[in-house]
Amino acid sequence: MTPAQKVASWLSKAKRAVAFTGAGISTESGIPDFRSPNGVWTNNQPVYFDEFLRSESARHEYWRQKSLTHLEFHDAQPNTGHRILADWEQRGQIVGVITQNIDGLHQVAGNKHVWELHGTAREIGCLSCASRWPADGLVQQFLETDVVPTCSKCGGLLKHATVSFGQGLPDDVMSAAAQRSRQADLFLALGSSLVVYPAAGLPEKAKSCGARLVIINNTETPLDWRADLVIRERLGETLQQIDAALKKHESA
């Protein structure tokens, strides 16, 4: 039995399987891993949340960096991996997707149950009144004027609805993701280096509660030793192999 066939067999029997995705699933859509050697956080000093709150120049630098990353994935489309996960959710093979990504491509692909641990770059939020707007218009406004926008409703500070360095993860999302992880009988960690906490603690939480843990990533992770199966291959191709084996298993 190949590794893909083994995962397909486990997936066919699972009742509460969860997919957990990192940057590796979106690089195949042309979105760079921001922590890669050529990534934004390698070439730019990130703006910490407390700096954003207290410094006008820090807010300008934040918007400059975010506008660059926004342009990086503005036209990105879901790839085969995204579409397979959406199909699995629709077929009841997984209950949903927990993601570290901020690109929103799981929803574009068709997933309905997505827990975005680090928020979404598709929206801008006011830190005072919590109003939200689509990001495209405000990013374009900044690029044209070089002026950091403020909330049109209350004058508050605006930032992308993403988790900045030094900013806590949204409690409601993290709580829901932790609950899904504890309840999982199969946990698929896909395209994540599993080094950014507290998100990276979810696979270990699932494993500790009795789930099978599968890690698919092109490099080693700190949790490989805990996994029931590690596949170190291209994620999109591997998911295609698993999907083909799963459909064959279902039709047998």
Runs of H (alpha helix) within the chain: 3-13, 23-26, 40-43, 49-54, 56-73, 80-90, 105-109, 135-145, 171-183, 201-208, 235-251
Q: By C-alpha distance, which of 108, 151, 104 is closest to 129?
A: 151
For residue 37, whether the previous peptide bond is cis, meaning omega lies within 30 degrees of 0, is no
Helices 56-73 & 135-145 angle (0-180, nearest 10)? 120
Could you confirm whether 118 is annotated as catalytic?
A: yes
Between strands 119-126 and 158-162, the pairing is antiparallel
How many angstroms from the chain centroid is the CA of residue 205?
Answer: 18
The SS3 of residue 74 is: coil
Catalytic-role residue among 70, 82, 106, 118: 118
Q: By C-alpha distance, which of 75, 78, 51, 73 is closest to 62?
A: 51
Give the catalytic positions in this structure: 118
